[in-house]
Amino acid sequence: MPELSVNITNNCACVHKNVKLDCTNFHSYEGVDPLILSVPIDEICLLKNGNDFVAFEIVKFLYAWEPQFPFTPISSQVLCP
**Which tens digit of pLDDT belongs to each residue from 9-34?**
999 999 999 999 999 999 899 889 99
Q: Say how far apart CA 32 and CA 62 lie, in whole Å.
A: 7
Q: What pLDDT score was predicted for residue 1?
A: 82
Q: Say how far apart CA 24 and CA 26 lie, in whole Å.
A: 6
Q: Please tell me the total count of domains within the chain.
A: 1
Q: Say how far apart CA 34 and CA 79 lie, in whole Å.
A: 23
Is 79 domain-assigned?
A: no
Containing structural domain, residue 24: 3-71
Give backbone dihedrals phi and psi of 63, rounded to 5 degrees, phi first.
Answer: -145, 160
Residue 57 — very low, low, confident or very high, per pLDDT cuts 50/70/90? very high
Q: Say how far apart CA 10 and CA 29 lie, in whole Å.
A: 27
